[in-house]
Structure 1
């Protein structure tokens, strides 16, 4: 008997045996809140649904979720938390912020506080549909309560680096007329995370039409300094509004890096003041372009939410459209094999294109792009060079490049071309260094032929971070770690979120199928992978991880549901690095998905709502038939 059939039998049994006493009710009008016979009791860390008639010590659904369990419904799970079992009611306009901070940190704190207050407003069920919320009436005690938030930020630094301290301490205590919140953090980013945690200690009280907060003590720090998502905006354009929604959701999950794969062979949607031809030839349309002003605004939007933008200009492969203007401007071919057919012979997916190694003007243009990117993303703390999936045949069948290789005595076999790829990469690094005014900017590279042992010596471990996109069983993981490279895990067998769709060229499923469920995402531990391959977790060299959303089959209409809530599973793995599996997190995860939806994120549904209201009863082993708790 399948799990689905067994579950239907359980639900049928409950529907027949556990019906409440009937009541005479009229059909509700728009906006009317129908009374419910149900209430909830916290039993062994789970909220159990019961008939409220004649019962004591039962609570509303939201109150039970807020107070039940050692960490309540906090996501990602904090390092240390003590959650109370009673709540205090207050109104959203009865809040004050008292910061102790310096300079720009104070400005950021006030913006973060505005986001916090907006988040609390969204907990009201009528917020989203245009009705005026918070109409009351409330009792006198609720009217009097003030939520006072005292925030102390020690440092004045507003740049998020790999060394930034994102820890915080948060205490919530209740008094007669004051709910006291104390936040202490070394940096703005820790304080922002504390406000996010505080927002998850607050919920809407269904019968009082007010907010409720639970007393708590939280001490927290992330396990990894790099906690990222990749969004590709070349294969399909993703609007600024969708990127802002992504940043909102990342902030709600304490993810701190949006890896922006801006360009590829498909399109070049970034407008550059000094090189307008790149977008002129490379954008899908005149309206599908990111202007410098939009980029700067997006960087600021991200900073307030505790997120860095990591730009990627993939090269020397994965270029093409946008580079065709060189010959008209007297610069020769800047890229070769652009849109060349049959594409299977010249690249990994259509359309093709690679930079022209034989044309020195290509380096001049590349250096100019780097200069503008350094200015746009100031202060640039990380840069992604891309650097994977070179097609040997593309270069070897291009007459100009073939002649360049022969005339310079390099040879024309694969090894010779890979050696010239290494030369290109070193030149690209030098160009970025020059663009940054001599300031050291760590560069990130994808795993590729260039990161294999025979070419790895060309990459200085102090200058490069390697992003691992192969499988968790790849033997190159050991070679990279043992040679001192810092790494970011993005192994496609767990953290590629575009997998599991129908093929977009040909038929069948796409190349990295099957679909990666949230359970797979959650259980993918970078330390465990490293230990399995090397016998050591290499804790200091593993910076963290990143889930990738390549957009061959994604655009504004589906970006939310592809990223969320699976991105939340990634977030707890990288923030907490739990020793337990997804099963211990499931109840909180399902609740957190609901929270994201309240905040405007169109996150994919994971289970029927019945499972959310009946914790622990949606499982695969033999169910226990009955009414109420297991």
Structure 2
């Protein structure tokens, strides 16, 4: 039997508008939104979006504000009538204007075609945003940048919003919060915004980021920008760019373009100076610093063939000389190595700035160095060192690191803070002599329970957490050099990531934790899978670092689902984490009392 379905639609400015009515509305019950059948006796209707804003804790905002938030008096607005004011002659007015235009563009994406279909009713309220920013300098975001902000409103025919912040970056976060308070009421076809808003907010940790490897598999600039867009929506502020590795050298250096010519997968899979600067600016106006990593003295191979400063490149069997193919390490005895590094550091500092630099420094293979005749001869004949393992760890490796750091500081004209991955070097008893805590930050990738974390903290190092038992997003997939699953399985769900709290790992020394990063190594990922690997899991850690909530993931579940939906509407292919039925029927899916099983 055939059933006739009649759908009335219109096309306006390319948008298809379906005229239909819902049989459902939502009621706010005990802090959650309950899906309820609409009957002829129903007198008060709330759309799902309205209910989430008015009913969920913290107005559904992600990440959860650290201070207070209150919203009231939902008012229909004309989404075409947002404006802003700031001092036009200040140094940062251009940045504010760019951030405002990003804001208005993205809220139109968030409410969809309603931005176009909305009736141009002159009686609808407009919104004016006034920025009051104390620090008018154009400094990039640094280790001590203040990112706090407040929002207050006054209303009439114009809803006046005042964002107060010390820096542009705090003000930008305020805009991000506002974007989450603009909603589309699909029951009545209108855009709503609270006429009364009060927010006081700021992050617990100043380093909140994502590490992305673009060397194992090339990631397009377009995909990188999608990542930055999602980071901004989640108030993450650090894009750690692992630019090169043994498998490829896609970075086009001004001083040594031949490295990319030899080392890129193809001429089309490179990051030129123009591309790099475009990505840095795209990030900056979204409140994100881009930190380059030039990994050394291991993880070097492709691209360096013509330089004569490497050893072990593509040696076999590879598992004897490195952790994954192709192998490759620097030969620290080659003095021309440091001249090339100085040039590369100069290129990168000119592009990325001099606030901080990541020098890699992990996974040295001693068998590689021991089998390098040029190096061992130099150790014995020129340095008088023996060839015991301790000499490679406490003499050869520090010799490289000391000389590389001097070249970096020379090009920067100052002692740039250096980040290194945790390694055998950072596990040594005399690590403070080799790597002074005043000069080095250690990024920890071992498990959160590793005793070396306590050692580093006790020796007064500042650390960045990327512990692989919670924050490695490449885990839980098939092995690629063996059968079975990859080395860091199982898969890390958003719940594990959310509950990975620095205060629990560092205990009474959490003040030495700068923050953390989720990490995506791309042996088994790339442009096509980037969004689903990163999102919404990285957003879970964004709230942990912004708020360090006292509760576990279960208290955040409904807001996490709401934020994942926002990311999708912004064009991010964020992975599904529950059936949509659970999203629209709040608190019906969790098995109460079994969250930790």
The 3 A distance-change label for structure 1 pair 507 and 108 is same
State yes or no: 1:519 paired with 2:501: no
Alignment correspondent of 2:67: 80
Q: Is the 8 A contact 1:81 1:216 kept in 2?
A: no
**Please, what TM-score do these two structures have when normalized by structure 2?**
0.94
- The one of 248, 272, 283 equivalent to 1:291 is 272
Assess, with a 3 A threshold, how the Cα gap between structure 1 residues 622 and 307 changes in structure 2: closer, same or farther.
closer
C-alpha distance in structure 2 between counterparts of 1:385 and 1:406, whole Å: 27
Give the CA deviation at 1:622. Answer: 9.2
Q: Structure 1 residues 415, 39: CA separation in 2 closer, same or farther (over 3 Å shift)? A: same
Aligned residue in 2 for 1:337: 312
CA drift of 1:101 comes to: 6.7
Q: Is the 8 A contact 2:466 2:472 kept in 1?
A: yes
Alignment of 1:77-476 (within 5 A): 77-100=64-87, 103-126=90-113, 133-137=115-119, 141-142=123-124, 145-158=125-138, 159-175=140-156, 177-214=157-194, 215-326=196-307, 333-377=308-352, 379-407=353-381, 408-419=383-394, 420-437=396-413, 439-456=414-431, 457-476=433-452
Distance 1:189 1:621 in 2: 39
| TM-score, scaled relative to structure 1 | 0.90
CA distance, structure 2, for counterparts of residue 621 and residue 225 of structure 1: 34
* Contact preservation (8 Å) 1:72, 1:83: yes
Deviation track 1:230-280 (CA, whole Å, cap 9, x = no partner) reads 000100001111111111111001100000000011111000121011101
CA-based RMSD of the aligned residues comes to 1.7
1:24 CA displacement: 9.2
Cα distance in 1, alignment partners of residues 118 and 197 from structure 2: 27
- Which residue of 558, 567, 571 corresponds with 1:587? 558
> 1:228, 1:255 within 8 Å by CA — same for their partners in 2?
yes
- Structure 2 counterpart SS, 1:84: strand
Gaps of 5+ in 2: 10-15
Specify the alignment match of 1:5 in structure 2.
Answer: none
Provide runs of 4+ in structure 1 moved above 6 Å. none
Q: Name which of 50, 54, 57 aligns with 2:36.
A: 50
Q: Shift of the alpha carbon at 1:138?
A: 6.1
| Contact kept? 1:547, 1:570, Cα under 8 Å | yes
Structure 2: how far apart are the matches of 1:104 and 1:440? 27
Q: How far does residue 621 in structure 1 lie from its aligned partner after superposition? A: 4.2
Would you say the 8 A contact 1:320–1:353 is kept in 2? yes
Q: Once the 2 structures are TM-superposed, how far is the Cα of residue 571 of structure 1 from its aligned partner?
A: 0.3
Q: Is residue 480 of structure 2 the alignment partner of residue 504 of structure 1?
A: yes
| Partners of 2:208 and 2:236 within 8 A in 1 | yes
Q: Aligned ranges for residues 548-627 of structure 1 at < 5 Å?
A: 548-621=519-592
The Cα of 1:35 is off from its aligned counterpart by: 1.1
Q: Distance in 1 between matches of 2:25 and 2:419?
A: 52
Q: How far, CA to CA, are the matches of 2:54 and 2:175 in structure 1?
A: 18
| Contact 1:100 1:153 (8 Å CA) reproduced | no
- The 1:592/1:259 distance shift into structure 2, 3 A limit, reads same
Where in structure 2 are the equivalents of 1:12-51 lying within 5 Å? 26-27=6-7, 31-51=17-37
Q: Indicate the SS of the match to 2:251.
A: coil
Does the CA contact (< 8 Å) of 1:134 and 1:209 recur in 2?
no
Which segments of 5 or more consecutive residues in structure 1 lack a partner in the other structure? Answer: 1-22, 128-132, 327-332, 624-630
